[in-house]
Structure 1
Amino acid sequence: MRTLILLASLLLPLQAQIVRENIEWLDVWMPDTNVHALPRVLLIGDSITRGYGKQVEALLKDKAYVARLATSKSLGDPALLDQVSLVLKEQAFDVIHFNNGMHGDGYSEEAYAAALPELLATLRRLAPKARIVWATTTDVRVKEHLDQVAPKTGRMIKRNELAAAFAKQEGLPVDDLFEVIKDHPDYHVPDGVHFNAKGYEALAAQVAAAVAKVLP
């Protein structure tokens, strides 16, 4: 009994570090699971990845099968690793295009960066043949005032810098989605976070090009 109490006391600080949003969600799309003529690509990200995912799939038609894993989970939350592991155990992927950063406001940028090594280790362990591309997180505009950059963008820039430095250290190519949209408030919808058709078209073209460069 004393041992159980001691273990519980040790786990409490770890559990207290897990920050969850009021609404959590997971969206997985895995087409062409029973055919194997083309390379298989996995796009990992959030609702923005979900927004451009189908267009990337169309742009890479006849070149690759494109799946996606979109989630509200952030680096720093161990559940993200569980979700990624679930999908990687379903299929073998040749390319993984990964973005994360918009969610997880409750985690500091330092905590965010500290979770990168374990994530990469999980990707490499469960998809040992996959070529991994890191994608930067897009900016945020003030709701209903898209000409103004929201304060949260500063956090996205810091996370992007930390992730890019880690990617360079690990020899991973970086797909700079932030650069694609940072000067285009016209790409955003009124919420300041998501994108209109023109914005998603630009992001999809960028992602498809980045993936095409590393297709086997």
Structure 2
Amino acid sequence: MKFVPLFLALATLTTAADRVVPREGTEWCNIWMPNANNHDLPRVLLIGDSVTQGYGPDVEKQLAGRAYVARLATSRCVGDPVLHAEVAAMLGAETFDVIHFNNGLHGIGAVSEKEYAEFLPQFIAHIRKLAPKAKLIWASSTPSHVNGKFEQTDARNENVKERNSIAAEIMGKEDIPVDDLYGLMIGYPECCADSLHYNAAGKAMQGAQVAGEILNLLPAKAK
């Protein structure tokens, strides 16, 4: 196990005092690190939001016996130094072979798409600095639907699609594969639990696809 002091990890980052950081009414973070003392299997880290938190257990089940799957789910959006601090805490505690990450649904209306395009590469650079040997996979953000009428997308979905397009271009430049969860879920409104989240069937679909993408990048002995 390694330890990276947060003040070193964050030394080159913009602080909240340097710019106005948009906040949600309630900010939250959930960290899950199973089998913390075992190192006989590769380690995988899922970074995302409540959608990631939803499919995380299904990814664990799919990769049982092949990898240990940790996750960091957070409400922080790119451009927030606290997001970098949360990631630094995870990557300072353990070494990961594969990192499957997403950020996009939070911050809509507070961070412009222009700012998103600026901050996302900084987020990637931060992860690579702290986990230089990890293989990265980007996940596109899932659709935003009209609550109660899940066959319809809502106004926010235009932002989701634009951010996914921005991210896809950046990932192409960064040589990072994209796990298209948007494309997976857009045709299954019956799998919605509310405007942004999914029922058990939806979580299982996402978990299976995420696990398959991760499995392609795991060390050969784990496959």
Among 186, 192, 204, the alignment partner of 1:188 is 192
Deviation string, structure 1 residues 154-185 (Cα, Å, up to 9, x no partner): 10100001111000101001000001001111
- Structure 1: tracts of 5 or more residues without a match: 1-10
Which structure's relative contact order is higher, taking Cα pairs within 8 Å and 6+ residues apart? Answer: 2
What letter corresponds to residue 131 of structure 2 in structure 1? Answer: A
Deviation string, structure 1 residues 9-66 (Cα, Å, up to 9, x no partner): xx998432x1000000000000111111110000000000000001100110011000
Confirm whether residue 133 of structure 1 aligns to residue 137 of structure 2.
yes
- In the alignment, the residues of structure 1 paired with residue 217 and residue 203 of structure 2 have an alpha-carbon distance, to the nearest angstrom, of 22
Alignment partner, residue 90 of structure 2? 87
- Structure 2: tracts of 5 or more residues without a match: 1-14
Confirm whether residue 15 of structure 1 aligns to residue 19 of structure 2.
yes
Distance change >3 Å, CA 117–CA 12, structure 1 → 2:
closer
Q: Which runs of 4+ in 1 moved over 2 A?
A: 11-16
Give the greater-gyration-radius structure (CA).
1
- In the alignment, the residues of structure 1 paired with residue 94 and residue 106 of structure 2 have an alpha-carbon distance, to the nearest angstrom, of 26
Deviation string, structure 1 residues 94-146 (Cα, Å, up to 9, x no partner): 00000110101200011111112211111111111100000000001101111
Greater percentage in helix? 1
Q: Calculate the aligned-residue CA RMSD, in Å.
A: 1.3
- In the alignment, the residues of structure 2 paired with residue 180 and residue 208 of structure 1 have an alpha-carbon distance, to the nearest angstrom, of 14
**Identical-pair percentage:** 45
